[in-house]
Structure 1
Amino acid sequence: MKTMKTVLFAVLMVPMLALADKIAVVDPMQAIIETEEVKSRNATLESSLEADSQRLRKLRDDITKVEERLQRDGMTMSSEERNRLTDERETKGFEFQSLQQSLQRRVNSDRQALIEQMEPKVLKAIEEISNEMGLDMVISAQAVVFVKPDLDITAQVTQRINRMK
């Protein structure tokens, strides 16, 4: 009986093993991130945000200086001066928070637009590569616990997208 189960198991596994050669994995986000188009666009975005980033750093430094002064000299300064510095800290804090949120929205918006723009290219590249390689299935790398490196087509997808213009 035990031998019969082993033979049955082996017979049922043969088709699964045959399919294993026709499966690959891809990390779509990694493929997108590594493309020349995305690298260029990220550099452009970074440079366009540089002035606001500098403003954020300056605000953070100003807030820190005001807080340090309040802590260091707060007991000896007049209540009027302490109130003025407290108001300044709050005003700069609100400005910092507002600017930070604005920058984050711009980055998120750009990232979302980029993903929407790149998605058809990724799907086309995956389809072309899977047809060329005779793949039956391409699985997202996030859904796989382990895969042999030779079954990962992420780099090939990136190269294919780079050739698309």
Structure 2
Amino acid sequence: MKYLLGLAVVMLTAGMHVQAETIRVLGVQEALLSSQAAVAFSEQLEKEFAAEESQLLELEKEAVGVREKIQQNMGLASEEEMNRLQLQFQKTVNEYHERGEALQLKRMEREEAFLAQMRPRLDQAIRTLIEGENINIILAKQATVYSSGTIDLTPRVIELLNQQ
């Protein structure tokens, strides 16, 4: 995308005249995340990680329970009991953080693999539109201040991704 934006600047500064109908905008991330494949992948991830997320919630509840117990027993329980509760709390919090980070890492790896799998499909959809509509420039939708809906390729890219 940076290459395409740079190309647009070079073409415009070199004095080349580009007709407005050959310029398009595209929300790449929006297109990828709105495709049927992405929706199905997201649902699959939710199912795949549901048990681990449930375990994380249980750890969080356990940590909250121990913290409340510490607060309730402040000054009432023996020093030994308070140390035991604080150690239990710290152990639970550490386990929560470790499992949370591991889950987040697994999720990120799966998402990156999905995006890598989708990239050739996205590139093919974009190439199809470039060739079919004789497009000269595609700008990142997020980098534009204004564009009319008629030059936004995003819905058509989503449509092509869903057909593949």
- The verdict on a shared fold, with TM-score over 0.5 as the criterion, is yes
What is the SS of the residue equivalent to 1:146? coil
Q: Which residue in 2 is equivalent to 1:12?
A: none
Secondary structure of the corresponding residue to residue 25 of structure 1:
strand
Instruction: Please name the residue that 1:94 is paired with.
Output: 94
SS of the counterpart of 2:96? helix
The 5 A counterparts of 1:52-91 are 52-91=52-91
Equivalent position of 1:138 in the other structure: 138
Q: What stretches of structure 2 of length at least 5 have no aligned partner?
A: 1-15
Distance 2:82 2:129 in 1: 67
Instruction: Give 3-state SS (helix, strand or coil) of 2:25's partner.
Output: strand
Q: Which residue of 1 aligns with 2:8?
A: none
Q: CA RMSD in A?
A: 1.5
The one-letter amino acid of 2:74's match is G
Residue deviations 1:21-69, cap 9 Å, x none?
Answer: 1111111111110111111111111111111111111111111111111
> Given residue 127 of structure 1, which amino acid in structure 2 is its aligned partner?
R
Matched, 1:103 2:99: no
Q: Deviations over 1:46-93 (max 9, x none)?
A: 111111111111111111111111111121011121111111101101
Identical columns (%): 23
Structure-to-structure mapping, 1:1-165, within 5 angstroms: 16=17, 19-164=19-164
How many positions carry a matched residue from both structures?
150
Q: What is aligned with 1:9?
A: none
Superposition misfits of 4+ residues, deviation over 4 angstroms = none
| Stretches of structure 1 lacking an aligned partner (at least 5 in a row) | 1-14
- What secondary structure does 1:21 align onto? helix
Give CA deviations for 1:113-133 in whole Å, capped at 9, x if unaligned.
111111111111011012212
Q: Distance in 2 between matches of 1:21 and 1:37?
A: 30
Distance (Å, rounded) in 1 between the aligned partners of 2:90 and 2:115 = 37
Question: How many Å apart are 1:162 and its aligned residue?
Answer: 0.9
SS at match of 2:103: helix
Matches of 1:143 and 1:119, distance apart in 2: 21
Structure 1 CA distance for aligned equivalents of residues 85 and 102 of structure 2: 25
CA displacement at 1:143 relative to structure 2: 2.2
Q: Under a length normalisation based on structure 1, what TM-score does the superposition of the two structures give? A: 0.86
Matched residue type, 1:56 = L
SS of residue matched to 2:19: helix
